[in-house]
Amino acid sequence: MHLIVTEKNIAARRIAAILAPKKPKKVRISGVDSYQYETAQKEKTVVIGLSGHIVGIDFPKEYNNWQKVEARTLIDAEIVTTPINRKIVTALKKLGKSAERVTIATDYDREGELIGVEALDIIKAANPNLVFDRAHYSAITPKAIEKAFTELAKVDFNLADAGHSRQVIDLVWGAALTRYISLAAGRLGKMFLSVGRVQSPTLSLIVEREKEREAFIPTPYREIQLELQGEDGKSFEARHSTRRFLDLEAARKVFEKLGSFAKLKSLEKGRRTENPPTPFNTTGFINAAGSIGFSPSNAMRIAETLYTNGYISYPRTDNTVYPESLDLRAQLELFKTGRFKQEAESLLKKSELIPTRGKKETTDHPPIYPASLANPEELKEDEWKVYELVVRRFFATFAAASEWETLRLKLELSGEEFRANGARLIKAGWRWYYPYNAPDDRLLPELKEGDVLKVTHKELLDKETQPPGRYGQTRLINMMEELGLGTKATRHEIISKLNSRAYIHGNPVQPTRTSFAVMETLEKYSPTITRPEMTRKLEEDMDRIAEGKISEEKVLKESRAMLDSVFEDLEKNKAKIIDSLQAGLREDKIIGTCPDCGGELMIRRSRRGGRFIGCNNYPDCNFSLPLPRSGQIVVTEKTCEEHGLHHIKILNSKKRPWELGCPQCNFIEWQKTKEEEKAQKLKKGLPESLQAIEGLGKVSAEKFEKAGVSSVRELVKAEPFELSKLTGISINKIKKFQETACGEKEPENPEALKTTETSKTAAK
């Protein structure tokens, strides 16, 4: 029996359908789908898909107690392999016993090779004598798969070792440093502070940029802008040749002397050529997808779906040069029908197809290209947008340059020089195929030297210099690539992790105060963690493992030694690190100033674990506001004009961030809504007496009557906190009676603010 192992079930199904002489039979093995058929030579073949990694690495259970096991001991702790998907492991063992040969057909990169070797090790444990080989492919299309299984290769154990070394290094560095910093900060449980070999230098970039912004002192300047009109009635803008007047008074004097007519002193026409773009590698694709609204993680998720369904080639590649083995004309001919027929036919008229070439050329995978024809009806809207982007980029790499006609004007007005520029596209070239982010024509009227133009509007603009911009996610990925942080397959995942840990939010990315606290502490007391040199060195070592130039064992030993030296710095400064982290993290909880006493309003926790905003002058001051029960709370820099409180954002995994805004405005609005709902319920009628309310007995009714609440209407309108003080009945019970009387239920929206535990009770 020939066993073929792919990375995912969808790949197994597609590859089986391509290789089988007729439709393969789906057979469940230990609860896992497999696809079986006989070849023309009567060889039974079984194709089975994994679910990515089916085994993982971890420390033994005795290392799990953070308080009892010191973080530093994790550096040299034993690493154990544990099953992640037991059903697939069982299925592989069962199939392995009867297999004569195995073909690993996982994705061809470090991660894919490691996943394949993990599966191979499980199969070989059941059948040590079987023969095994490797199928390399970059697209799941009939042509690519048939070629891959005709030209089988050897399993690359060096490449798998490089992937395994990354797993071990990231586990040891991440676990040891995360445990140490979290314990020092007193942040355990779900609120732990993660630190990582790649994520910390990346976060440092973001925090440093924010510091530059905060330290930036704007410089005021003025601009003088005109609107001019030609003889044909068409208008255009011109600016003073001194683009920025730092002398504000000088700008005012120039502006005041300007007359009503300008003379065209010179007119300079020119041509500008715009070369076509290079083929997509992963970073280039992420940048382009970002320009049309896709986050890096979303773009890669969609690209992965398109790849496994056979529509595009493998999306994780550094290559920007099409290999000679790729039949480019045949790929273009796929599009002679369908949505891109006109573009394809235009390119196919060329006697020779000469694509552009980027600077990076590798041999593992080609650049990203469209592998098969798709129609919009076959794909979801977002999938079609990404697919079309890939198709059009592929076309553009064969197209001619685009050409622009440029026009530069110099004008004189009251002894002052003004300038204007125009441009128009005269030859579309590659932009006809790839219209994304094309600059607009800046058309000027027909003019000649000496023309007199009417000034229809003039404006003196007060401006100021701006701080350096925050990094967009795509720009951040470019920075990570330049600095050697992470890989093409992991950079977008690092950004997602920083988001999920509430270290950053938004796009462009903005660091939280927690980020400042952690990064400033590490930079001061153990800067190695925050700088790219360390992780770049380890990345280079992993490349050398893949090339067979160094052993995995040697790299892991060196990595542990590096981490041990980091802990030397941490241990020497432990007390200072604790003080620095706890002081910094306190700032991240401050929401604003208490309106009742002027104290600090902070995010706090009740005895029951609930969260609320409370005054630090409690118990002298009881002012407080409720918070949602779940999600990571991010305090943003935006403040409420009315209440002066910082706006809040709630992060929930796999959901869009909830922009809660000012917590006091939000609570007032919520109270208003509840009062309106209560008024509507009152109109519908209430129970006849207090004891008619479900759960409210004679004793409670007597307590309410002694407190002056003798009717259901009075109970519903009563303030729970005050009534609780008078009766001794808990606030929660009173509220439950009120809700039962009105027939209310818990809000279905999980993002609704809950007040089952009021902030006053929480403060107590």
pLDDT per position as a tens digit, 163-217: 999 999 999 999 999 999 999 888 776 678 889 899 999 999 999 999 999 999 9
Number of domains observed in the structure of the chain: 6
Structure tokens at 84: 């992640």
pLDDT at residue 385 tops 60: yes
For residues 686 and 380, the model is more confident at 380
Helix (H/G/I), strand (E/B), else coil: 245: strand
Of 107-111, 533-537, 582-586, least confident by mean pLDDT is: 582-586
396, 423, 439: which is the final residue of a domain?
396
Based on the fold, state whether residues 11 and 146 are members of the same structural domain.
yes
Active-site option among 37, 63, 180, 314: 314
pLDDT at residue 712 tops 90: no
Phi, psi of 452 (to 5 degrees): -105, 130
What value does the mean pLDDT take over residues 337-363? 92
What value does the mean pLDDT take over residues 544-566? 94
Predicted confidence at residue 91, as pLDDT, reads 96
Helix (H/G/I), strand (E/B), else coil: 708: coil
> The domain spanning residue 271 has which CATH number?
2.70.20.10
CB atoms within 10 A of CB 128: 8
> In sequence order, which residues have a C-beta less than 8 Å from that of residue 165 and are 6 or more positions away?
541, 542, 545, 552, 555, 556, 559
For residues 717 and 182, the model is more confident at 182
**23 within some domain:** yes
274, amino acid identity:
E
Based on the fold, state whether residues 639 and 714 are members of the same structural domain.
no
Based on the fold, state whether residues 562 and 477 are members of the same structural domain.
yes
**437 within some domain:** yes
Cβ–Cβ < 8 Å for 23, 14: no
What value does the mean pLDDT take over residues 20-27? 94
396, 413, 447: which is the final residue of a domain?
396
**728 within some domain:** yes
Reported confidence tier of residue 743, pLDDT bands at 50, 70, 90:
low
**376 within some domain:** yes
Based on the fold, state whether residues 29 and 143 are members of the same structural domain.
yes
Predicted confidence at residue 654, as pLDDT, reads 65
Predicted confidence at residue 764, as pLDDT, reads 34
Alpha-carbon distance of 70 to 65, in angstroms, equals 9
What value does the mean pLDDT take over residues 58-85? 92
For residues 684 and 104, the model is more confident at 104
> In sequence order, which residues have a C-beta less than 8 Å from that of residue 320 and are 6 or more positions away?
278, 279, 280, 281, 284, 357, 358, 359, 360, 361, 367
Instruction: Of 569, 557, 566, give the one whose Cα is nearest residue 168.
Output: 557
What value does the mean pLDDT take over residues 345-366? 91
Based on the fold, state whether residues 101 and 249 are members of the same structural domain.
no
What value does the mean pLDDT take over residues 669-697? 76
> The domain spanning residue 124 has which CATH number?
3.40.50.140
Of 45-49, 351-355, 384-388, least confident by mean pLDDT is: 351-355
pLDDT at residue 156 tops 80: yes
Alpha-carbon distance of 109 to 123, in angstroms, equals 21
CB atoms within 10 A of CB 182: 21
Strands 32-38 and 25-29, bridge-based pairing: antiparallel
Enumerate the H helices of 588-730 as residue ranges. 663-683, 698-706, 712-717, 720-727
pLDDT at residue 117 tops 70: yes
pLDDT in tens, 226-251: 999 988 788 999 999 999 999 999 99
**68 within some domain:** no
Alpha-carbon distance of 371 to 290, in angstroms, equals 22
pLDDT at residue 25 tops 80: yes
- Of the chain, the end-to-end C-alpha distance in Å amounts to 70
Based on the fold, state whether residues 416 and 432 are members of the same structural domain.
yes
Three-state SS string over 417-449 comes to EEEEEEEEEEECHHHHCCCCCCCCCECCCCCCC
pLDDT in tens, 639-668: 888 888 888 888 776 677 788 889 888 888
Residue range of the domain that includes 45: 2-50+85-155
Based on the fold, state whether residues 286 and 424 are members of the same structural domain.
no
Alpha-carbon distance of 496 to 505, in angstroms, equals 10
What value does the mean pLDDT take over residues 284-306? 94
Based on the fold, state whether residues 113 and 201 are members of the same structural domain.
no
Q: What pTM, to 2 d.p., does this model score? A: 0.81
Reported confidence tier of residue 763, pLDDT bands at 50, 70, 90:
very low
Based on the fold, state whether residues 645 and 738 are members of the same structural domain.
no
Predicted confidence at residue 685, as pLDDT, reads 65
Reported confidence tier of residue 274, pLDDT bands at 50, 70, 90:
very high
Q: Is 314 a catalytic residue?
A: yes
Q: Identify whether 508 is preceded by a cis peptide bond (ω within 30 of 0).
A: yes
**Mean pLDDT taken over the chain:** 89
Q: Identify whether 619 is preceded by a cis peptide bond (ω within 30 of 0).
A: yes
- Burial label for 74, CB within 10 Å (0-12, 13-18, 19+), is buried
Enumerate the H helices of 547-628 as residue ranges. 552-572, 574-587
Q: In percent, how much of the chain has pLDDT > 70?
A: 95
Alpha-carbon distance of 172 to 190, in angstroms, equals 20
Alpha-carbon distance of 297 to 290, in angstroms, equals 10
Strands 101-105 and 131-134, bridge-based pairing: parallel
Based on the fold, state whether residues 610 and 659 are members of the same structural domain.
yes
